[in-house]
Amino acid sequence: MLRRNRRLRTNEAIRSLVRESLVTPDDFQAPLFVVEGSGIKQEIASMPGYYRYSLDLLKKEVQELWSLGIKSVLLFVKVEEKLKDNRGTEAVNPNGLMQRAIKTVKEINPEMIVMTDVALDPYSEYGHDGIIENGKVLNDPSVEVLAKMALSHAEAGADFVAPSDMMDGRILAMRNILEENSFFNTGIMSYSAKYASAFYGPFRDALDSAPVDAQDIPKDKKTYQMDPSNRDEAIRETLMDIEEGADIVMVKPGLCYLDIVRDLKNTVNVPISVYQVSGEYAMIKAAAEKGWLDHDAVVMEQLTAIKRAGADFISTYFAKYATKLLQR
């Protein structure tokens, strides 16, 4: 035998010397769910150990994240039912919950990189990412509102806007409106390869943002989010978003789409983020609760696999937990 691969696996010292991919807290972005009110820290039923925070308690959470070494948050808001409509009116309210959340994080820690979800679903009475007419999600009128929403987040102090709506042309529209208003340094992280996935269920519980079951309302998001069967399309979508001005591109969900991550890593030259989504979190929690999987080992294995596939960083509900594991 001329080659014995086990030599490089003999002990942890040699394994660590030849290790190819590593996750560190620098790789993590923490998604945060924000609600109206005060003194609220509400556990999300389908996401055990993950919470919605009111602005006062958000401050503490942000401070803790920073002290652990997590330098970026991705903000989402749960919008009150009475503020929802079909036009995203509340989404552009300069004093809306998102706009206040951005300011709150920046006041507590100006260095924390604040990214904001841009899509209409939390604001939509129908639970869709755009405006609906005659049973269809309209593209261009939605883009118009989404661009204004992005501008409003920039005005509130967001470092990056993160459009997750998957309308055509939204990156260009956002880049243009940001440039026209002198927000030259506000970046765009595009959810560029976002699939119509069944893994978003717990997130829609968290924000109460699922498509409503009513006549003439599409039951799913398949006319704008991507078909899980497609691979070439992810490259096309992502290259277009880069052309239109995206600074960072994203693949979402994570685990089922690591081939896409690698395709993009081999194709594009901008940073790639991967969103390990709510359903991926929930699956691990549920299996661990049953005693069927080793929770901590599986968490680290999945995060490492996402890095190995080519992610430059990961948006993950395990950001805080995995950081604590790594520091142990």
Instruction: Exactly one of 84, 221, 252, 320 is catalytic; name it.
Output: 252
Judge whether 101 and 75 are in contact, CB under 8 Å.
Answer: yes
In whole angstroms, how close is the CB of 26 to ligand PBG at the nearest point? Answer: 21
Binding test (CB under 6 A) with ligand PBG, winner from 278, 302, 316, 323? 278
Compute the distance between CA of residue 131 and CA of residue 150 in angstroms, rounded to an integer.
16
Q: In terms of C-beta density within 10 A (0-12 exposed, 13-18 middle, 19 or more buried), how is residue 288 classed?
A: middle
- Nearest 5°: the CA angle 205, 210, 213 is 125
Nearer of residues 121 and 159 to ligand PBG, judged by Cβ: 121
Binding test (CB under 6 A) with ligand PBG, winner from 90, 129, 237, 241? 129
Judge whether 196 and 222 are in contact, CB under 8 Å.
Answer: yes
Q: Contact letters (x/-) for ligand PBG, 44-83, by CB under 6 A?
A: ----------------------------------------
For this structure, is 221 an active site residue? no
Residue 237 is a binding residue for ligand PBG (CB under 6 A): no
Contacts of 14 (CB under 8 A, 6+ apart): 7, 8
Residue 119 is a binding residue for ligand PBG (CB under 6 A): yes
Residue 121 is a binding residue for ligand PBG (CB under 6 A): yes
Terminal-to-terminal C-alpha distance of the chain: 40
In whole angstroms, how close is the CB of 17 to ligand PBG at the nearest point? Answer: 36
Binding test (CB under 6 A) with ligand PBG, winner from 33, 123, 200, 224? 200
In whole angstroms, how close is the CB of 218 to ligand PBG at the nearest point? Answer: 12
Contacts of 315 (CB under 8 A, 6+ apart): 29, 30, 31, 74, 250, 273, 274, 275, 276
Quickly tell me which residue has 């869709």 as its tokens: 128
Task: Count the neighbouring beta carbons within 10 Å of the beta carbon of residue 155.
Answer: 15
Which ranges of 18-157 does DSSP label H, i.e. alpha helix? 55-68, 97-108, 140-156
Nearer of residues 32 and 65 to ligand PBG, judged by Cβ: 32
Residue 277 is a binding residue for ligand PBG (CB under 6 A): yes
Residue 274 is a binding residue for ligand PBG (CB under 6 A): no
Q: Where are the beta strands (DSSP E) in 214-271?
A: 248-252
For this structure, is 194 an active site residue? yes
Nearer of residues 164 and 323 to ligand PBG, judged by Cβ: 164
Check the annotation: does 237 bind a ligand. Answer: yes
Binding test (CB under 6 A) with ligand PBG, winner from 203, 224, 257, 313? 203
Nearer of residues 44 and 57 to ligand PBG, judged by Cβ: 44
Compute the distance between CA of residue 164 and CA of residue 120 in angstroms, rounded to an integer.
9
Report the interface residues with ligand PBG, using CB under 6 A: 117, 119, 121, 129, 164-165, 200, 203-204, 221, 277-278
Which residues are identified as catalytic?
194, 252
Residues making up the annotated binding site for Mg(2+) are 237
